[in-house]
Structure 1
């Protein structure tokens, strides 16, 4: 093997995690309340992308720290609030949603993230959208 190839492989292994494709990505959330007349489409950013993981098939041979199953998750986020149109006076017409400012590869925190891959797409409106 050439020295260039060996150095390239080592460089990729060392810096592969920092160069992963985990970054804020544009996403549209559709929000509606039963009491309100309209659906609201909100453009936000979520964390999405590839994070380097290690195969756990050899878990009996490796240390526990060597088995990482990282996901693309929030490093920094903030919350914004939107007003859902067409709500009666007795209903709270506000919806708060997260906005990803920066992302990282790490363990999934169930306090603020859905750590299960969604099988069914339910992100749609059943009521008319107000422009």
Structure 2
């Protein structure tokens, strides 16, 4: 192999490992409703990755807006709706969920994003599970 090509390849791999990544990632959501007999396992994509951040030494001198950090968030998103099987007549059997088409680094908008690192609840089914199929 050509030494210049080898060095270029090694350099690219090294730089690629150190750059922040923010991209759609596969994720499984488990959805169930009290009025429905089954839980659905839905495969979707979410935005995931780490952003370059920096900690300012002048926190007390800067306005709060200057201290916010970028997160990996949705750039383009579509919503899909599924029917949860086995629901009682009075229940709404539909569930809508986001599918990340592309992602970006940006400010976290709490109107439509969860901006915490830890998940609040475990993602599992308590009822019999049915895989979602298109």
Q: TM-score range by the shorter chain?
A: 0.7 to 0.9
* 5+ long unaligned stretches in structure 1: 1-11, 13-18
The Cα of 1:50 is off from its aligned counterpart by 1.1
Partner secondary structure for residue 57 of structure 2: helix
Show the counterpart of 1:77: 77
User: TM-score by structure 1 length?
Assistant: 0.76
Q: Which sections of structure 2, spanning at least 5 residues, go unmatched? A: 1-14
**Given the alignment of the two structures, is residue 92 of structure 1 paired with residue 92 of structure 2, yes or no?**
yes
Q: Once the 2 structures are TM-superposed, how far is the Cα of residue 56 of structure 1 from its aligned partner? A: 2.4
Q: In angstroms, what is the RMSD of aligned CA positions?
A: 2.5
Contact 1:82/1:96 (8 A) holds in 2: yes
Q: Is 1:53 the counterpart of 2:53 in the alignment? A: yes
- Bigger share in strand: 2
TM-score, normalised via structure 2 length: 0.75
> Is the CA contact 1:77–1:102 (under 8 Å) kept in the aligned structure 2?
yes
Q: Distance in 2 between matches of 1:97 and 1:65?
A: 30
Matched residue, 2:3: none
CA distance in 2 between partners of 1:38 and 1:62 (Å): 51
User: CA–CA distance in 1 between the matches of 2:41 and 2:47?
Assistant: 19
Residue 121 of structure 1, CA deviation: 4.4
Tell me: CA distance 1:63–1:32, structure 2 relative to 1, closer, same or farther (3 Å): closer
